[in-house]
Chains A and B, each alone.
Chain A
Amino acid sequence: MQQIVVEARSLQHSYGGVQAVRGMDIGVGQGEMIGLIGPNGAGKSTVIECISGCVRGFSGQILLYGVDISKWSTFKIARAGLLRTFQTPRLFRRMSVLSNLMLAAEQGTVEGMGSTLLGKWRRRDAERLSQCLDVLDRFGLRAIADNAASDLSGGQERLVELCRILLSKPKVVLLDEPFAGVSPENRHRLAEAIGELRASGSTLLMVEHRLEWVERLCDRVVVMAQGREIAAGAMDEIRANEEVVLSYLGTKSHPLPSTTEGKGA
């Protein structure tokens, strides 16, 4: 049986007076990629926020390899190998693209960062540099290696964000609408970067609206509406699911119960 790498159990979370997630269970198996889709306000991003520790105060459990990480800091979760992307990529804007990647590569090295022997450090540095340049080459970003991260297009920012994640060799990656704001030309590169993450053994959960990419990249799709799961399966099953299709059109309030009809709310 496939090991469940990351899991949310009985997840519930409210923002202010609004219940964003009302009892959500989701688990991703080793090496699997799951697409999480649903209309606006369904609670999809909130699930990512909870799993990555970026919001507090939710109820339920988040498990990573069976360990309860619900109360862990974001730092600890990242160190444990669970990384994520953000709606707007959070790069170090005043640093160059290359420096951004070098920072990530440093964390991915097997040897401890405590090693300060000059010779060893230089050799490792050269290795890291060549790894970073390699990644930049693979995704057509070599030309912008020295650009400040603040000077990139939306698509380039997203690609650099993914490159940084690749270099960190993560166990789990949560992707929050990665294709948003990415030009058509860069979308294929982005898909390639995601493919490389999978090839290297990472487990992925992707929230996305662009169904063509969900279909191409994901093994399985989960649909959320109004804070909970309403369907799961392959994309064509989901397209044929009337409840799913209707959920995108918004809800009507329940008619006030009348004495003659006797229907509940």
Chain B
Amino acid sequence: MVSPVDGKKGILAMEGLVAGYNRQEIIHDATASFSEGSATAIIGPNGAGKSTLFKAVFGIAKCFSGRLKVDDAEIKVGDVAAFYRLGIAYVPQVRNVFPSLTVRENLLLGTRRRSEASRIEHVVELFPDLGKAMRTHGGDLSGGQRNMLAVGRALMADPKYLLIDEVSGGLSPLAAELLWAKLGTLKDQGLTIVAVEQNVHMALEFCERVYLMISGRMRPAESSAELVERVDLGTVFLEGESESNLQLTQRPVGQSS
């Protein structure tokens, strides 16, 4: 059961998602919700299924059961037209820019209507480095530029929700922190951010809310401070998919969903 987060509107939620590849289940009963203007991190040790969760939402991995909702209206997983209409944008971890197209062309692909092309100005304002590389081909960009371009293209559709898989992936710590800072700016402007993040320090620093995933199961949401207090994260991440870790995903007694 999904409970409204603080009664705010603009809630994106998933209920009981079971997903995976072929016949194998990777995600078991994922339930989460994200409210407008919030930044939530999804963290977990290796093999937790974090990427698979997003892939299931966007129809790249197979969804065996469960529901997606925006403000209690159900949407089908992988229904990209609905996602576009509702403003749900996805930044995948890999192959997230077209290498043979220029930065400008990549950005323009993020819109469906010519009237939205002017949003390029906003994106360049946010990422000045992209502005200097408009004619560079996607394949010639550095890792940091590529991530910025991938995010920039998602922003071209003026989304309400940004689901980003591995913010800091392949970036130096400094570049990752700079990107997170930009995401923070967007959050302050009302964008809902849901980020899979491998770097736990950064996830906890930049997101006020966090879901810990272990072996395809999600621990109920907590504030970053609460999680740090309750769980020895270093050991959890070291042990990975151990039996003792799985217990952490059970709902603590007395805590509501």
Residue positions of A touching B, CB distance < 8 A: 16-18, 39-41, 153-154, 180-181, 209-212, 239, 242, 244-246, 248-254
Is A209 a contact partner of B233 (Cβ separation < 8 A)? no
Show 13 A/B contacts (Cβ-Cβ < 8 Å), sorted by A: A39-B46, A40-B46, A209-B47, A211-B242, A239-B238, A244-B238, A245-B235, A248-B200, A249-B237, A250-B173, A250-B201, A251-B201, A254-B174
Is A245 a contact partner of B24 (Cβ separation < 8 A)? no
Q: How far is the CB of A138 from chain B (nearest CB, A)?
A: 25
Chain A residues with CB under 8 Å of B202's CB are: 250, 252
Is B240 a contact partner of A239 (Cβ separation < 8 A)? no
Chain B residues with CB under 8 Å of A245's CB are: 234-235, 237-238
Query: Does B194 count as interface, using CB distance less than 8 angstroms?
Result: no
Chain A residues with CB under 8 Å of B143's CB are: 16-18
Q: How far is the CB of B151 from chain A (nearest CB, A)?
A: 19
Is A248 a contact partner of B234 (Cβ separation < 8 A)? yes
**How many angstroms from the CA of A18 to the CA of B168 in the assembled complex?**
13
Main secondary structure of the interface of A (DSSP, over half): loop
Closest B-chain residue to A251, C-beta based? Answer: B173
Is A248 a contact partner of B173 (Cβ separation < 8 A)? no
Closest A-chain residue to B234, C-beta based? Answer: A245
Give the interface residue-count category, chain B.
20 to 34
Is A180 a contact partner of B174 (Cβ separation < 8 A)? no
Q: How far is the CB of A36 from chain B (nearest CB, A)?
A: 14
Q: A250-B202, A251-B199 are in contact. List 18 more A-B contacts (CB 8 A).
A: A17-B142, A40-B198, A209-B240, A209-B241, A211-B242, A245-B234, A245-B237, A245-B238, A249-B199, A249-B200, A249-B201, A250-B198, A250-B199, A250-B201, A252-B173, A253-B173, A253-B176, A254-B173
Partner of A253, one of B24, B174, B198, B233: B174
Is A210 a contact partner of B199 (Cβ separation < 8 A)? no
Closest B-chain residue to A18, C-beta based? Answer: B170
Contacts A40-B46, A154-B24, A209-B46 given; does A249 touch B240 at CB 8 Å: no
Query: Does B177 count as interface, using CB distance less than 8 angstroms?
Result: yes
Among A39, A246, A249, chain B packs the most CB atoms within 10 A around the CB of: A249
Of residues 228 through 253 on chain B, the ones whose CB sits less than 8 Å from some CB of chain A are 233-235, 237-242
Contacts A16-B143, A18-B143, A250-B199 given; does A211 touch B238 at CB 8 Å: yes
Contacts A253-B172, A253-B173, A253-B174 given; does A180 touch B47 at CB 8 Å: yes
Q: How far is the CB of A260 from chain B (nearest CB, A)?
A: 21
Chain B residues with CB under 8 Å of A181's CB are: 24
Chain A residues with CB under 8 Å of B233's CB are: 249
Q: How far is the CB of A159 from chain B (nearest CB, A)?
A: 16
Closest A-chain residue to B23, C-beta based? Answer: A153
Chain B residues with CB under 8 Å of A16's CB are: 143
Contacts A18-B143, A154-B24 given; does A250 touch B200 at CB 8 Å: yes
**How many angstroms from the CA of A32 to the CA of B173 in the assembled complex?**
36
Q: How far is the CB of A182 from chain B (nearest CB, A)?
A: 11
Chain A residues with CB under 8 Å of B24's CB are: 153-154, 181
**How many angstroms from the CA of A250 to the CA of B196 in the assembled complex?**
14
Proximity string of chain B (105-149) to chain A, C-beta cutoff 8 Å, 1 when within and 0 when not: 000000000000000000000000000000000000011000000
Q: How far is the CB of B184 from chain A (nearest CB, A)?
A: 15
Is B241 a contact partner of A248 (Cβ separation < 8 A)? no
Is B176 a contact partner of A248 (Cβ separation < 8 A)? no
Is B234 a contact partner of A211 (Cβ separation < 8 A)? no
Chain B residues with CB under 8 Å of A239's CB are: 235, 238
Chain B residues with CB under 8 Å of A17's CB are: 142-143
Is A248 a contact partner of B170 (Cβ separation < 8 A)? no
Is B239 a contact partner of A211 (Cβ separation < 8 A)? yes
Chain B residues with CB under 8 Å of A180's CB are: 47
Partner of B234, one of A154, A209, A246, A251: A246
**How many angstroms from the CA of A252 to the CA of B201 in the assembled complex?**
7
Is B142 a contact partner of A212 (Cβ separation < 8 A)? no
Query: Does B45 count as interface, using CB distance less than 8 angstroms?
Result: yes
